[in-house]
Amino acid sequence: MAKRKRSNLTEEEQRTSQAGARILMIAGGAIAIFIAVMGVIMSAFNAVETANLIEQYGETVASSCQPVPVGSTSVDFLPETDPPRQMILLEAGAQRFHDWHGDLTVQWKAADEAAVALVGCVEEDFVEIETCTYTRQSESARSGETFTSRITREQHAVTITLINPATGRIVDALSLTGPEPITCPDDEDVVGSGRERGDELTWADFGVWAEAYILE
């Protein structure tokens, strides 16, 4: 009969190891619960926002950007209404206001479904334009081992698709990219991996373009 291998750890070390493992399990469980609770809260928040949007502007308008229409663009697709042609700004692929909706002037912002002449579907993302790599010496591993740190440079990119919600036709679309971020840092200034992002675009970057369709 084979003898059971004895542990090289003392009883105190074993208790400390077990206590550490329990703490990690508890911490992991708490984080998982927090993430789940935040997910439920965000889902509830989005559901309320969607319900309010539909109540104020109706299902057809609220669904204008879900999905964003595709096809040809033409000023001939403008609604036959007198200016100002009031609008709302929605997140692309969702039934939610985009943050820029609050930046619309009172004269441009539609107050209800009957006033909506145009809907702007806003798609935005940070686009990777460069990744710089740096070789680092490991401090905890045996001598000679290295690892790679990466600094990603990203640029804000936004497309607004302006549509006639009554027909779903595209009046025009504009894509812009924001300023490039700073160049990758020098080797001696890099500790770990990360990202450098350029300044974000704002509604003001699109206002003059949109004005032509709202006021003319």
Say whether pLDDT at 91 is over 90: yes
Q: Which residue, chain included where needed, has tokens 């009172």?
A: 106
Query: What local confidence, expressed as pLDDT, does residue 140 receive?
Result: 63
Cα 96 from Cα 62, distance rounded (Å) = 8
For residue 123, the enclosing domain spans: 63-215
Q: Which residues contact 84 (CB under 8 A, 6 or more apart)?
A: 107, 108, 214, 215
Using one digit for the tens of pLDDT, what is the confidence trace for 116-153? 999 999 999 999 999 999 988 777 655 677 888 999 99
Domain count, the chain: 1
Residue 159: inside a domain: yes
- In terms of Cα–Cα distance, which of 196, 202, 156 is closest to 177? 156
Residue 210: inside a domain: yes
Residue 43: inside a domain: no
Residue 150, strand partner residues: 133
Residue 7: inside a domain: no
Give the largest CA-CA distance in the chain: 95
Say whether pLDDT at 2 is over 70: no
Hey, what are 51's tokens?
Answer: 């319900």
Cα 60 from Cα 215, distance rounded (Å) = 24
> Could you tell me which residue, 56 or 39, shows the higher pLDDT?
56
Residue 108: inside a domain: yes
Residue 29: inside a domain: no
C-alpha 102, offset from chain centre: 18
Residue 192: inside a domain: yes
Question: Phi first, then psi: what are they for 57, rounded to 5°?
Answer: -120, -5
Residue 121: inside a domain: yes
